[in-house]
């Protein structure tokens, strides 16, 4: 009987292997391949997606809207320009060259412009809503841990002015449907996939021009 059970298990494994091979790189929702979905179901999350112990992370980090574009500017490479009208963020890579990302911006009454800098960066940040935000919406919690329910998503880039925190961030989101809209209280949202890319490019101290 034991031999028969082992034989059936071996047969099932063989069929499963054939299904994977036949699937090739068929794309699943969010740009994942069948192979990557299967690996995600049985493997630990990649190191780049590590979050604090005890918290889960979203498997689908959302689409990427990153594009290489020609962009006329005198800003130095490594700087960021946020165009709140077109809802695009530009990371300057060279003379009149940039990476363009689609973003979500502040809703009516929460837009702003100015020149700030990157004060610090955080991977899978927690979130403590500012007091004035909680006054506007008393239902907000005092603290949200890292993970799929955190509105800052996978990464946060903290914007400072004259050494002080502005309380504005460039951050990810676990709801990519908000990208391209007027959706925030003044922060700039990116898909988690795009903020992971921008995060590793930007350096503390880099200039951010919001216009």
| Dihedral, 91, 32, 191, 81 alpha carbons, nearest 10 | 10
Q: Which of 187, 198, 206, 208 is catalytic?
A: 187
Q: Which residues pair with 120 in a beta bridge?
A: 158
Q: Is 171 a catalytic residue?
A: yes
Classify 72 as helix, strand or coil: coil
The token pair that represents 192 in the structure block: 């988690």
| Terminal alpha carbon distance of the chain | 73
Q: Is 187 a catalytic residue?
A: yes
Q: Which of 100, 155, 171, 189 is catalytic?
A: 171
Classify 15 as helix, strand or coil: helix
Catalytic (active-site) positions = 171, 187
């Amino acid at each position: 009987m034991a031999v028969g059970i082992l034989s059936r298990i071996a047969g099932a494994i063989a069929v499963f292997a054939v299904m994977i091979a036949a699937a090739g790189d068929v794309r699943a929702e969010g740009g994942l391949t069948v192979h990557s979905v299967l690996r995600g179901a049985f493997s630990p999350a990649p190191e780049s997606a590590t979050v604090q112990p005890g918290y889960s992370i979203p498997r689908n980090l959302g689409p990427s809207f990153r594009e290489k574009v020609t962009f006329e500017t005198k800003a130095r490479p490594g700087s960021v320009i946020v165009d709140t009208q077109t809802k695009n963020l530009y990371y300057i890579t060279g003379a009149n060259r940039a990476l363009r990302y689609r973003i979500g911006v502040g809703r009516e009454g929460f837009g702003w412009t100015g020149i700030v800098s990157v004060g610090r960066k955080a991977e899978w940040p927690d979130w403590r809503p500012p007091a004035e935000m909680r006054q506007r919406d008393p239902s907000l919690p005092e603290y949200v841990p890292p993970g799929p329910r955190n509105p800052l998503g996978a990464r946060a880039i903290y914007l400072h002015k004259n050494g002080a925190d502005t309380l504005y961030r460039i951050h990810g989101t676990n709801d990519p449907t908000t990208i391209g809209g007027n959706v925030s209280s003044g922060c700039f949202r990116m898909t988690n996939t795009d903020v992971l890319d921008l995060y590793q490019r930007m350096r503390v101290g880099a200039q951010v021009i919001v216009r």
